Amino acid sequence: MLPRREPPLSQVLSSGDPSYSFEFFPPKDDAGERALWAAIRELEPLQPTFVSVTYGAGGSTRARTVRVTEGIAAHTTLRPVGHLTCIGHSRTELRSIIGQYADAGVANVLALRGDPPGGPGAPWSRHPQGLDHAVELVEMTCSLGDFCVGVAAFPDKHPEAVDRDADARVLAAKARAGARFAVTQLFFHADDYFELVDRAARFGCDIPVIPGIMPITNLSQVARFAALSGSVVPATVVARLEPVQDDPAAVRAVGVEIATELCDRLLAGGAPGLHFYTLNRSKATREIYANLAVGVT
């Protein structure tokens, strides 16, 4: 099958219509991969703007992530965005992965530095023949073809940033390097997102910044993901979930309610779309999507 060719994601994002996208976590084994494909097929009818599959910790699932992304391009109607991180990769390996994406017709790439392999708070250590910063990865990707490159943004500030202004300067630098859109880490207050966009604009960054939304289906799990991105689950959110924490169905229902409220505020305030961290499950994401009345039946 020939690689599918389609308009670059930046062109779609500039249309003025809100984008809706889904992110999946990398499967660790064959059973996980089957579950992932089930979630992909369940969400495909929603016709999202794009979907992506992340790397595992320390780039541990690179081969499976790339293979699944290639499969999405070849065997679904979805537009895949290929993940790419500096973690554990030499420049030669990074060029090879970018080439794999290009060969599969994947023209959109999310270029990330990645989290330190040692976890939150651990010092960053680059590959001896690798890259130190996402800006360098953006430059490399843009130099190797006509890719639409996205980057990460941090409403709650990157854990290693001195302050929020410094963080916004980094986002602006990634835009100058060639990034054409950004996706934020998870967050819980809409004002944090809008303040990030305003700060970045002051430093000359005008690319679309898509808010990243993680439906809360398990409080401790979301707290772990928040810690990885330098965030915390606010006390106001915990207070709504603690009374039902022993009832998984009730936790999901309250989590969907909280996420829907956040999404409504973001869209009303002019956010260019929503990016859902699905946790490889479709039900909560579908419920939020339906609550937003964006076309689900």
Handedness of CA 178, 164, 188, 38 (dihedral sign): positive
State the alpha helices, DSSP H only, in 145-273.
164-176, 190-202, 219-228, 235-241, 248-268
- CA–CA gap between residue 122 and residue 117 (Å, rounded): 8
- CA–CA gap between residue 105 and residue 85 (Å, rounded): 19
Q: Pick from 30, 41, 33: which is nearest to 76 by CA?
A: 41
Clarify whether 195 is annotated catalytic: no
Which amino acid type is present at position 36?
L
3-state helix, strand, coil in the chain (%, to 5): 45, 15, 40
Phi and psi at residue 128, to the nearest 5°: -55, -35
User: 17's torsion region: left (phi>0), alpha (psi -120 to 50) or beta?
Assistant: beta
The single residue of 6, 23, 42, 93 carrying the catalytic annotation is 23
Helix (H, G, I), strand (E, B) or coil at 152: strand
- CA–CA gap between residue 228 and residue 236 (Å, rounded): 20
Report residue 196 as tokens: 């990030």
Handedness of CA 6, 9, 15, 21 (dihedral sign): positive
DSSP 103-114: HTT--EEEEE--
Q: What dihedral do alpha carbons 202, 204, 207, 212 form, nearest 10°?
A: -40
Provide the annotated active-site residues. Answer: 23
